[in-house]
A and B are shown apart, each in its own frame.
Chain A
Amino acid sequence: MKRIMIDPAKCDGCKNCSVACMEAHRTDGGSGVYTLDLTDPNNISRNRIVSDGKGGYDPIFCRHCDVPDCAGACMSGALVKNMENGLVEYDEKKCAACYMCVMSCRYGVPAISPDRKRMIKCDFCAHLEEGPACVRACPKGAIEVKEVGEWSDM
């Protein structure tokens, strides 16, 4: 399976990854960063760059964990660990917005949608052939898609 590997030492906090994420998941039908509404909560980024308080930055990205807390807590079957590609996939149609996933992720990754009807989490840009938009947008190579081997249960 593949994972977005993070090297926080390389992160400059430019948030290009966040803007790319927002652009990749915008739902207003538009395209191109110029017209992306940066103030619309519906466009919230799935990744976050948080200052480490010492001049550096800590990128917080969904890890698509080997044993995902979120999917383990999902009572609707909306969040499922796909054993073939290693991704924790989300089916909005199944989701009941109970937010057990939000509560259960120990890294605090999942967010809730402004309409309180969905959860929001990295989908590895499954709709983009080129792969995760964030990775392509990073000017520093702080995030990279890498093969991390077979999924192991424990």
Chain B
Amino acid sequence: MNACYNCNTCPSADKPMEEYIRHLPRETSHHRVATQKTKCGFGLQGVCCRLCANGPCRITPDAPRGICGANADTIVARNFTRAVAAGSGCYIHIVENTARQLKNTGLSKGKIRSEKALDHLADLFGITGATDKWDLAVKVADAVLSDLYRPEYEPMELVEKLAYAPRVKRWKELGIMPGGAKGEVFNNVVKTSTNLSSDPVEMMTSCLRLGISTGVYGLMLTNLLNDVVLGDPEIRMAPVGMNVIDPDYINILITGHQHSLFTYIQDRLTDEDVVAKAKAAGAKGFKLVGCTCVGQDLQLRGAHYTEIFDGHAGNNYISEAVLSCGAIDAVLSEFNCTLPGIEPICDELKIKQICLDVVAKKANAEYIPYNFATREADGEKIIDEIIDAYKERRGKVPMNLFPDHGNKNTLTGVSEGSLKAFLGGSWKPLIDLIVSGKIKGIAGVVGCSSVAYGHDTLTVELTKELIKRDIIVLTAGCSSGGLENVGLMTPEAAELAGPNLKAVCKELGIPPVLNFGPCLAIGRLEIVATEIAAELGVDLPQLPLVLSAAQWLEEQAIADGAFALALGLPLHLGVPPFMTGSKLVTRILTEDMVSLTGGKVIIDPNGVSAADKLEAIIEEKRKALNI
């Protein structure tokens, strides 16, 4: 390879990857960390207001109010609520498309991979009288869609059916039962516009409503609906990292969150006639390479897709590196986190970019909107264009493979269902381990990957510290991508755990960090927690359970965080969500929330001290439960 681009990249927890990126001949996000090192202090604190033409207004000792009179509390609350609303909108968009996919599958009597999952949903929703599984699928999807489309002033019906009863009771007391999910987003966008709400407390309350609709629909239901169409997760071992890329195939990198939009194409790519086309072009066939959350979801369900799915290469901030390997021929994207930074790389390396959803339209991607009715013709077009790209680029662009990256034995496929099945169909064995102290508690290390303060560095450090303290870690989101590439989800990682957890892992042959897949699977963690709480007869805040979105990145993560707070869980964040400019908002999130929902935000950029704090909370909760 040629000389490195500028050899100035951010650190990564994944040291081989750090080396690989540092030596790349082109710029990546890891390089841009240095050039964006200077942060705006007002922005960091959330006290820059750009809501009107009088602005931007910034808060200083000489200027404690914006021109309109908004103080730091109002400005921070408005910015924060806007972010939660936007993040909620993202997840609601995902669940909407997922439900539509299920409905269309039902209407067209398409392939239903898990009738068990469908029946489970029908049970939860209380749907009876369906004529067949397809009709049931339509009814289930309609129940979800009609809730999403309700006006904001009409409560959604499924919340009470899906959420844990003691939580629903508390939410009703607090008046935070959400109305129609899209209406909630709409309402909060309005509320936080110019010279509308100035009430920070009301806005923070709204965030909890948004958090509930995000969590119950965007997270929980998206998973369950996808299980029907895409198949239930099954625990298995899989390769992760850049070693999954096989240059002999036509490789398609998938990025996004809406796995069901790939349903047709991922089946079609293994059909004989399509494979024949690939062979005619000189490849062995097609492979999908996972990246971002949709890759995680495919990996989670990988048992159903062994032929087409190569494996998960890494998280969002690996995508630029993955494309740089030269063996990726196309990027098929439908949502975030599809970094704009991949565009010049795709251009340079002649990688075809196709986008299936306009909300994630990349500037240089061809837009082929996903349309259930025309999916077959569209699919053929996409396949042909990718084959063309393969022929056009192979042999002409340099290869920079990284076959040693990652590992081959990461445990994947963990879900509320597969884990329970693994434990023998009951949570009791896990509860016993917790009660006996062999597992001190559970930490969900979830959310994103970020690079500004190091790529996955805090996520990995915190996770290591937690397992060292006999706290089992469950992951969901891009945090999983970082953790699996450094080997923490291999059974060998048991050696890094504290003595008790290590013994448990060895006995069961599992790693101390269990991967639930995409960020959407935070909803699965919630189901696990709820089922355990129900079995114990306690409410969620009483469990020795903590959450960390150590390297939260985006607005969706803030909406997820609002869900965590509504659930009453302690939530650790590595950097504050642009809130510290307001003493009031900071106090609400970090202190007052305890008396409202039981949750609270803990800010700590240090893995060791953050783990200390989370461990202390777990111990406190154990004590309260007399275990």
Contacts and interface: CB of A to CB of B under 8 A. Distances in A.
B38 A33 contact: no
Interface string B20-62: 0000000000000000001111101101000000000011111
Interface stretch (A13-21, A55-63, A98-106): A13-21
B59 A38 contact: yes
Nearest to A139: B38
Given A15-B58, A39-B59, A44-B62, A34 B38 contact: no
Contact of B575 (A16, A18, A34, A45): A34
B40 A14 contact: yes
Given A15-B42, A16-B40, A16-B41, A34 B603 contact: yes
A152 interface: no
B294 interface: no
Contacts of A16: 38-41
Nearest to B586: A35
A30 to B, nearest CB: 10
Contact of A34 (B44, B58, B62): B44
B64 to A, nearest CB: 5
Is the contact region of chain B dominated by helix, strand, or loop, or is it mixed?
loop
Contacts of A33: 39, 41, 44-45
Nearest to B60: A38
A38 B72 contact: yes
B41 A20 contact: yes
A41 B61 contact: yes
Given A34-B603, A38-B72, A19 B41 contact: yes
Contact of A40 (B38, B45, B58, B61): B61
Contacts of B39: 16, 33
A36 interface: yes
Interface string A40-51: 111111000000
B454 interface: no
Interface string B113-139: 000000000000000000000000000
B75 to A, nearest CB: 11
Given A14-B40, A15-B42, A33-B44, A43 B61 contact: yes
Interface residues of A, number: 25
Contacts of B603: 34
A23 B41 contact: yes
Interface string B55-85: 0001111101000000010000000000000
Interface residues of B, number: 22
A88 interface: no
Nearest to A23: B41
B104 interface: no
A36 B583 CA distance: 11
B205 interface: no
Nearest to A35: B580
A39 B64 CA distance: 6
A38 B47 contact: yes
Interface in B296-328: none
A39 B72 contact: yes
A34 B38 CA distance: 14
B499 interface: no
Contacts of B59: 38-39
B576 interface: yes
B581 interface: yes
Nearest to B36: A139
Nearest to A37: B583
B41 to A, nearest CB: 3
A14 B41 CA distance: 9
Contact of B45 (A34, A43, A138, A139): A34
Nearest to A14: B40
A42 B576 CA distance: 23
Interface string B481-508: 0000000000000000000000000000
A112 interface: no
Closest 9 CB pairs of A and B: A19-B41, A139-B38, A41-B61, A34-B580, A33-B41, A39-B64, A44-B61, A38-B59, A34-B576
22 contacts: A15-B42, A15-B58, A16-B39, A16-B41, A19-B41, A20-B41, A22-B41, A32-B605, A34-B45, A34-B580, A34-B603, A36-B45, A37-B583, A38-B72, A39-B60, A39-B64, A41-B61, A42-B61, A44-B61, A45-B60, A137-B38, A138-B38
